[in-house]
Amino acid sequence: MNLSILDLKRGFDACGYITDEEITTTVYLALQLGKPLLVTGAPGVGKTEIAKVLSEIFATELIRLQCYEGLDENKALYEWNYQKQLLHIQMAKDNAQGLQADIFSSEYLLERPLLKAIQAEKRPVLLIDEIDKTDAEFEAFLFEVLSDFQVSIPELGTLLAKQIPIVVLTSNGERELSDGLKRRCLFLYIDYPSLEKELSIVLTKVPQVHERLASEVARAMQLLRHKISLKKKPSIAEAIDWARALEALGISKLDYNAVDKTLNVVLKDKQDQDIFREQMGAQGLCNMLVNQGG
């Protein structure tokens, strides 16, 4: 890729993605080495966004394979258009000349995300999102694609990639991924952001919010993650939503009423809301913000 680390950093900045040296360097190396990038971390820390930003930087298509339990080769790679095949067979029965075409040709093939990425004329970004939700068998199936960038279809043979896609895999850590998959990828872990980074993200994503309120939101998020034992810590996405919600309600300062009124934007689990009220509470959070100098 004819792209320097500085160019890549500028591209991320232009897309409003607040990055750091580790993220920029790892993404750059994945591009230069032509290897898939495996991005892990808690939900909502910006893993999927990396693929979206790369598609913008290179002005190319983002092809997304959303993983889920039970995902198999057919749903990820290809399926035959059985309805079209049956229709062709039925029409052939009414035609004395019989079948005029091979019903197992590319004309009857339905491309799913993996095959679509392999066959794309222009190099796309292939996002394999939440790979940890699939099983080990599906991982093994991916090896051929990620190692050789080719797929095997019994009726058509081996199809080589027209352009090797930029591949980004994400994982929320629901299960341990296989060593075979990890060996084929460059690894990047994204943690919850520091206070400074979170404030920059909120100001970038919600530019209309006052800097004081953005600072209070960022500091409150840090307290929620580190001072109480939540089942699901609020993510960057929740911080952005919170700032937008407060702005929409015309709230300029985080006080007891503001926190109590918008708590469901930040904590999206009844158990976590109960834990918050027991261990900290809206007034306790506001007092901590004041003690910090807010």
Residues 57 and 88 in one domain: no
Specify the pTM. 0.86
Q: Determine the structural domain holding residue 238 and report its residue range.
A: 195-291
Quote the CA–CA distance of 290 and 294 in Å, as a whole number: 5
Quote the CA–CA distance of 144 and 61 in Å, as a whole number: 22
What's the pLDDT tens digit per position in 70-127? 998 888 988 877 777 688 777 777 665 555 567 776 777 788 999 899 889 999 999 9
Quote the CA–CA distance of 245 and 260 in Å, as a whole number: 13
Residues 146 and 271 in one domain: no
DSSP conformation class of 209: S
Residues 229 and 88 in one domain: no
What are 243-246's contacts with CB under 8 Å, separation 24+? 243/202, 243/205, 243/206, 243/209, 243/213, 243/214, 243/217, 244/206, 244/209, 246/209, 246/213, 246/217
CATH code: domain of residue 69 = 3.40.50.300
pLDDT tens, N- to C-terminus, the chain (294 residues): 678 999 999 999 999 999 999 999 999 999 999 999 999 999 989 999 999 999 999 999 999 999 999 998 888 988 877 777 688 777 777 665 555 567 776 777 788 999 899 889 999 999 999 999 999 888 888 877 777 888 778 787 788 888 889 999 999 988 899 888 898 899 999 999 999 999 999 999 999 999 999 999 999 999 999 999 999 999 999 999 999 999 999 999 999 999 999 999 999 999 999 999 999 999 999 999 998 864
Residue 107: C-alpha distances to residues 63, 79, 110, 265 (Å)? 21, 12, 8, 48
Residues 260 and 206 in one domain: yes
Residues 243 and 269 in one domain: yes
Residues 66 and 86 in one domain: no
